[in-house]
A and B are shown apart, each in its own frame.
Chain A
Amino acid sequence: MRVSYQWLSEYVDLNDVTPERLAELLTSGGLTVDAVTTRNQGVEGVVVGAVLACEQHSNADRLKVCQVDAGTGEILQIVCGAANVRAGVRVPVALVGAKLPGGVEIKRAKLRGVESSGMLCSAKELGLEVRLLPTEQTSGLFLLPEDTPIGQSIVDVLHLDDAVLDLDLTPNRGDCLSMRGLAYEVAALLGRRSHFEEKAEGHHLDVSDTPQVRVRIESAGCHAYAGQVLQLTGNHQPSPLWMQMRLLAAGIRPIDAIVDVTNFVMLEWGQPLHAFDFATVEAGQIIVRDAEQGELIETLDGQKRVLAEGMTLIADPKKALGIAGVMGGANSEISVGSRSVLLESALFERSHVRRTGQKLGLRSEAQQRFERGVDPAVQIPALKRAVALLQQIVGATPQGGVCQVTSDSMPSMLAHEVCFSPARCNQVLGTSFQASEMRNVFSRLGFTVIGQGETENWRIMVPSRRADIQLEADLVEEVARLCGYDAIPATLPMLANAPGRVGESYKLQKMTRSLFTNCGMDEVVTYAFGHPESISCLRLPENHSLRQSIPLLLPMSEERSHLRRHLLPSLAQVALYNLNHGVKGGAIFEISRVFHPYQLPLVQQPEERHSLGALWFGHTDIELGRPTRAYTFFDAKGVLEYWLMVLGLQENLQFTRSHLPWLHPGRSADILVNGVTIGSLGELHPESALQLELPRAIWAEIDLTTVASLPVHAWQVHPVSRQPWSYRDLAVLVDHEVPAESLLIQVRKNALAVMPHLQLTAKIFDVYSGKGIPVGKKSVGISISLGLEDATLDDDSIQRIMDAILHGLRLEYGAELRGQDS
C-alpha cells in the first residue's frame, strides 16, 4: 500500500514527524515501510500558464511559437514541439531558471532563430508516473483544468510537496489498507488522537426513502449489500486534479470522476465500491447469487471468463453483472451515455473472494481488501461519502433511499470482547509492565477496557475494524508492540538441563560429509528438481520404476519439473559445468534426499531416502613428481573402504560384480554389508557417459537410509604381540581371472588352520602380467606379517605356516610359487 504523507496528516497531527521518522515509527511498530519517496522529483520554478496564442514556427514544421501568460507580468514567448499545444490551454510552464527532474535547468534559448523564454512541460518532464496516466495526458503537454489559477506553482497544483510511504503490510493488517485505518494506527503509535472531519458537504441521504433498487442475497459469499441509485447529469468528466493526485500517490490510475470517486473512497475507508450502469440492471433488481458451473461472463477488462461453483455473482434476474468483490462485468459498465448509476457498497466473504480471484488469476485492489477483511461497520458511511463526492463533483443526485440488506452471517458491527489478564501478559512476555501502561496501550488503540486492578481479568472491547484481534495473545502482542519490543528483557528458559542430541541418521550424514572431505572430496549442493528425461542416462528399461518420478503441478520450467529419484544427473551437470569452466577435474559428492512415490498420481507422502552420490571426473590435480592422471575405479573404492572402515562396517563387507546398466560391466561393483546391498560404484557405462556429455568418470552411490539401519560392529582393542612381527613376502602365479582378494582369504584360512591364535595380516603388494609371465596368468605378490600374542614364532613354525599357505593356494587356485622372501 502506498500512503500519501499529506493525506495522512489530515487525520493525525504530523507537524513534528517527518516522513522518514514516520517510516521508522511504522516499521518499528510492525508495519514495514519499504521506501519513502518524495513526489517532487526535482521540480522548481514551474508555474501554471495560459497559452494565449499559438503560431506555426516559420522555420520548423514541428515547432510552434506560443505566447504564454504565466502570471509573471509579461507575456512570454515559448517555442514548443508538442502536438497538443493550442491557444486556450493551461499548461505547466517552466520559467527561465526553473529546474526539472534529472537536473535539467531551463535557460533562455533560440530555437531555429526564434527566442524562447521557458518551456511548456509534459507529465513525464514533471516526473509524474506516466504509466498510471491516460495517454491523452502523457502524449504531449500535461493539460491542466481550465480553471487552474495562472501563476500558481505547479508543486502546489499537483500536490508534489508530498512524500509517499511504500508499506509492505502483513496479511493480518487489512485495517491498514485504508487511510482512516492507518490513521488510527499512526495515532496509536504516536500516542495522539486521530480526527476525521468530513470534507464533503451536502449529502442528503435518506435511509428511510424507498430505494429504487431492490436487493436479494442468495449466496453465502455475501454478508451485506448496500446500494444507492444516482441520477447523472450527463457529461463524462475527469475528477478534480487534487483527487487525481491522491490516486496517483497511491499508485492508482485516474480514469474518470465516477471510477475515481469509488477508488478514492476505497482508499479512504478501505471499503471497495462498484458502480453499475443502473439502466442495464433488469427490473432494478440485484440478486447476489452463487455462480453456476461453467457460467460465462465478460469482465471489465474485456476478458470472457468461465465461472465455477463457489464463486459469488452480482446479477439481475436475467444475467450476471459482475463477480462479487473481484471485477465488474462489461455489460453493466458506466459509459459516456449512462444516465443513472448504482453504487454498490457490500461486504463479501473473505475466503470466497480469495478463492474466486485465485481461480480466475485476478488480483484487484478491491479483492485484496476483501481477502484481508473489510470493517463490517463502514459499508454505509463509505457509500454516503461516495454519494456526497459525486454530488459535489459531477452534480449527481441520489434517487430514492439506500437499499441495505444483510444476511444472517453478517459479522457484528459492534466492538467484540477479548479477555485479558495483565499478569498473564507479563508472564508471557517476561516483562513487568504496570497495569497502567497496558491500560494506556489499549486506550491509544481505541480499545475500551472493562475491569480494574492488576490481578483480575480485564474485558477489552475491540472495535470491528481490528478483526485480527481475537485472542489474549493478540492483545499481548499489541502491548508489546506499543511498549516496544526493546522493553522485553533477555532471559534463558528455566528448563531441566538435558544434553542436546543428534539423531542417528543425521549423525551418519554429518560423519559421512566429514569423512568424504577428509578424502579430498568436495561437497556440492544441487537442486532437487529435474527434467523427467534426465533419468534416461541410467539406461533403465522402459518400464523401470525409477523412471516414475513425482511431477510438480505447476513447475517453473520443464528442466525443473520433477522430484529427482537419483543424484547422477545433478552431479554430472556439476561436473560438466566445471569442465566447461576450465576446471580439469574433481571428486565431488552430495548427500540429499531422493523421492520415491508409492504410486502415481501421488496420493500419500512419498518415501524420502537419504542418498549419497559421488562422482570422480576429469583428471587429478597437478602434483610435483606425479603426472596428472584420470581418476580410476580404485580412487573411488579407496574412499568408500575408508568410509566403511571408520563407520565400523568393514566386517562382512563385500564388493561383488555389478550388473547395473549405467556402470561399466567390467569395472563396477555392488557394495554389500552383511549381505545387504548398500550401494554401488564403478566407471560410468560409455553410453551413459556419452549421454551426460562427460568423458570417462567414476560414479558411486550409497543409500544412507539403509546404512543407518545396519547394526554397527562392536569393537574392542586386541592385545598385540610383545615380540616383533615376522614378515614373509611371496609371489605366486595364478590364472588371470582369479580375484586377488580370494587369495588373501585363502592365505588367512590356511595359516589359521596351522595355528589358531596366529595374529596375521596379508596384503597384496603387486599384481603383474606381461613379460616373463605366461599368457592368461598373472603374478600376485602377497606380503604377510605374522606373530603370536605371548610367544616368539620360530623359523620352523613360520616355515610350516608358509608351506600350508602355499599348499592351500596351489590346491584351490593352482597357484605356482614364483618367489619367496623373508
Chain B
Amino acid sequence: MDMDKLQRDIPDLRSKALAELSSLEDRRTLDAWRVEYLGKKSEIAQWMKMLGNLSPDDRRMAGQQIHALRQTLESAFTERMREMDELEIERKLREETLDITLPGTPQAIGHLHPITRILMEIEDIFVKMGFAVVEGPEVETDAYNFEMLNVPKDHPARDMQDTFYLSEELLLRTHTSPMQVRVMEQMRPNIPVKVIVPGRVYRRDEDDATHSHAFHQVEGLVVDQNIRMSDLKGTLEEFAKALFGPEQAVRLRPSFFPFTEPSAEVDVRCIHCKGQGCRVCKQTGWIEILGAGMVHPNVLAAAGYSPDAYSGFAFGMGPERIAMLKYGISDIRLLYQNDLRFLRQFSQLR
C-alpha cells in the first residue's frame, strides 16, 4: 500500500461517491451505493485491511483519514436517505389529494315534526319551572269537558267551541281544560298542584288557513293557597322570555272563559316587528298567544278544593299557532300535510 497514492485516492473517492450519491433517486440504487462505498467489499474496507502494511505514523494518519471519509459518506448517505423519505412522503401526499368539495358521508338525519319541536320547547320551559307533565284522554265526557268547567248544558258559552260528539255524553275534548278537574281530583287534598297538559284537541271547524278540526293545546294549572293573578302574569312572562327571547313582554287583556274569573287573553310583543307594528300583528305590536285566568270558584269546588281556602290560575296555548309565528308558516294545514319537502326543512336546532 502506497501512502502517496492513498493521499490522492481518498479525496478522489470522496468526490466520486458524493457526486454519485447526489444523483441517486430511489432506495434500490441508494442501497447499491451503500454496498459499493461502505460495504464489506468496498474500497474503504480494502484500505482498512491493508493499513497494517503501513508504518505506524502513516497508519495512524491514514486511519484517521479513512475514518473521516467513512463518516462523511455515512452521514451523506443518512442525509440522502432522509431527503429521499421526504420526497417519498411528498409524492405520496400528492397522489392522495382529494376533491374536498365532494360531500361528506351522509349521516342519518331525521326530523321532528314542527309541532313536536314546539311542544318540547314549551314542556322544557315549564318543567324547569317545576311543572309536572301529565296527559289525559282525548275522548272525554260532557261532564269533564263542559259541566264541571262551569259550562252547563244549553249555555251559550258552548258556542265558543263546536264539538264532535260520539254519543250524548261522550265527545272529543275541545280543549285540554278537562284535565284541570281530573288533575285536581287526583291530587286532592294535596297542594301545590302544578302541571301542564299537552295534547290533541278537536273542534268542529272547517279547515282553512287558520282553523283546523284537530290541533294541539298545552294546558297549565297551578293551585295552592294564595295564588294571585300577578303570579299568572309573572309565570307567563318567564315563559315568553324563555321561548321568544329575554326582551319579551306580555300583556293581559280582559276576556271571558267560563272556567276562569277573571279571564284574560295574553299577548306577547310581535316577534316579527319587535312591537313596532307590522302586517302579522295587524299594526298593534302585540300577538295573542294564549288564554288564561284565575280558576273559577265553581271549578275549584267541582274538583273538591274549597274556593275559600285555595286559589289557582290556568292557561291554555296552541303550539300550532306558536309554531306558525316562530317559523313564519302562514297556513295551519301545512302542518298536517306532511309534505317531506316541508318537514325536512326543520333540521336546525337553534
Assess the A581–B338 pair: CB atoms within 8 A: no
Q: Give 1 or 0 for each of A591-615: 1 = CB within 8 Å of chain B CB.
A: 0110100000111111010000000
- Across the interface, which residues of B come within 8 angstroms of A473, CB to CB? 261-262, 294, 296-297
Tell me the complex Cα distance, A518–B349, Å: 13
Assess the A588–B338 pair: CB atoms within 8 A: yes
Given known A-B contacts A28-B253, A503-B133, A581 and B230 have beta carbons under 8 A apart = no
Name the interface residues of A481-520: CB closer than 8 Å to any CB of B: 481, 485-486, 488-503, 505-506, 510, 513-514, 516-520
- Across the interface, which residues of A come within 8 angstroms of B160, CB to CB? 170-171
- Across the interface, which residues of B come within 8 angstroms of A30, CB to CB? 253-256
Assess the B132–A501 pair: CB atoms within 8 A: yes
Rounded to whole Å, the gap between the CB of A730 and the closest CB of chain B is 31
Which of A431, A488, A550 has the largest number of chain B CB atoms within 10 A? A488
A474 adjacent to chain B (CB < 8 Å): yes
Tell me the complex Cα distance, A500–B126, Å: 8
B67 adjacent to chain A (CB < 8 Å): no
Other-chain contact of B141, A480, A495, A586, A605 (Cβ < 8 Å)? A605
Assess the B110–A502 pair: CB atoms within 8 A: no
Q: Give 1 or 0 for each of B276-317: 1 = CB within 8 Å of chain A CB.
A: 000000000000000000101100000000000001000000
- Across the interface, which residues of B come within 8 angstroms of A428, CB to CB? 228-229, 294, 311
- Across the interface, which residues of B come within 8 angstroms of A586, CB to CB? 340
Rounded to whole Å, the gap between the CB of B315 and the closest CB of chain A is 13
Smallest Cβ-Cβ distance to A474: which chain B residue = B261
B200 adjacent to chain A (CB < 8 Å): yes
- Across the interface, which residues of A come within 8 angstroms of B156, CB to CB? 171, 350, 354, 368, 371-372
Tell me the complex Cα distance, A177–B166, Å: 34
Q: Which of B2-10, B12-20, B28-36, B100-108 contacts A (4 or more CB under 8 A)?
A: B100-108
Assess the B110–A501 pair: CB atoms within 8 A: no
- Across the interface, which residues of B come within 8 angstroms of A551, CB to CB? 166
Tell me the complex Cα distance, A529–B160, Å: 22
Assess the B167–A492 pair: CB atoms within 8 A: no
- Across the interface, which residues of B come within 8 angstroms of A505, CB to CB? 135
Given known A-B contacts A473-B296, A556-B213, A577-B337, A492 and B262 have beta carbons under 8 A apart = no
Q: Give 1 or 0 for each of A579-592: 1 = CB within 8 Å of chain B CB.
A: 00101001110001
Assess the A523–B127 pair: CB atoms within 8 A: no
Assess the B231–A492 pair: CB atoms within 8 A: yes
Smallest Cβ-Cβ distance to B308: which chain A residue = A424
A715 adjacent to chain B (CB < 8 Å): no
Assess the B340–A588 pair: CB atoms within 8 A: yes
Rounded to whole Å, the gap between the CB of B105 and the closest CB of chain A is 8
Name the interface residues of A422-466: CB closer than 8 Å to any CB of B: 427-431
A722 adjacent to chain B (CB < 8 Å): no
The bracket for how many chain A residues form the interface is 35 or more
Rounded to whole Å, the gap between the CB of B115 and the closest CB of chain A is 6
Smallest Cβ-Cβ distance to A431: which chain B residue = B230
Other-chain contact of B234, A32, A490, A554, A581 (Cβ < 8 Å)? A490
Assess the A488–B108 pair: CB atoms within 8 A: no
Rounded to whole Å, the gap between the CB of A33 and the closest CB of chain B is 12
Name the interface residues of B326-346: CB closer than 8 Å to any CB of A: 335-341, 343-344
Rounded to whole Å, the gap between the CB of A557 and the closest CB of chain B is 10
Assess the A492–B235 pair: CB atoms within 8 A: yes
Smallest Cβ-Cβ distance to B124: which chain A residue = A500
Tell me the complex Cα distance, A624–B214, Å: 41
B71 adjacent to chain A (CB < 8 Å): no
- Across the interface, which residues of A come within 8 angstroms of B155, CB to CB? 171, 351, 354
Given known A-B contacts A427-B228, A492-B238, A500 and B128 have beta carbons under 8 A apart = yes
Assess the A171–B256 pair: CB atoms within 8 A: yes
Assess the B339–A577 pair: CB atoms within 8 A: yes
Assess the B106–A621 pair: CB atoms within 8 A: yes
Tell me the complex Cα distance, A588–B258, Å: 41
Q: Give 1 or 0 for each of B110-151: 1 = CB within 8 Å of chain A CB.
A: 111101100010010011111111110111110000000000
- Across the interface, which residues of B come within 8 angstroms of A519, CB to CB? 108, 110
Other-chain contact of A525, B115, B159, B166 (Cβ < 8 Å)? B115
Assess the A520–B230 pair: CB atoms within 8 A: no
- Across the interface, which residues of A come within 8 angstroms of B230, CB to CB? 429-431, 488-491
Tell me the complex Cα distance, A601–B335, Å: 33
Given known A-B contacts A477-B254, A492-B231, A583-B340, A520 and B109 have beta carbons under 8 A apart = yes
Other-chain contact of B338, A173, A350, A526 (Cβ < 8 Å)? A526
- Across the interface, which residues of B come within 8 angstroms of A712, CB to CB? none
Tell me the complex Cα distance, A216–B22, Å: 132
Assess the A520–B262 pair: CB atoms within 8 A: no
Name the interface residues of B235-265: CB closer than 8 Å to any CB of A: 235, 237-238, 250-256, 258, 261-264
Assess the B170–A605 pair: CB atoms within 8 A: yes
Assess the A430–B228 pair: CB atoms within 8 A: yes
A–B Cβ pairs within 8 angstroms, 22 of them: A30-B256, A170-B255, A171-B159, A172-B157, A351-B154, A429-B262, A486-B252, A490-B237, A490-B250, A491-B231, A493-B192, A500-B127, A500-B131, A501-B132, A514-B112, A524-B113, A524-B343, A553-B164, A578-B340, A581-B341, A593-B200, A605-B137
Interface residues of A (CB under 8 A from B): 27-30, 32, 170-173, 350-352, 354-355, 368, 371-372, 427-431, 471, 473-474, 476-477, 480-481, 485-486, 488-503, 505-506, 510, 513-514, 516-529, 550-556, 560, 563, 574, 577-578, 581, 583, 586-588, 592-593, 595, 601-606, 608, 621, 623-624
Closest 4 CB pairs of A and B: A430-B230, A520-B108, A30-B254, A517-B110
Interface residues of B (CB under 8 A from A): 102-103, 106-113, 115-116, 120, 123, 126-135, 137-141, 152-157, 159-160, 164-167, 170, 172, 192, 194, 200, 202, 204, 206, 213-214, 222, 224, 226-231, 233-235, 237-238, 250-256, 258, 261-264, 294, 296-297, 311, 335-341, 343-344
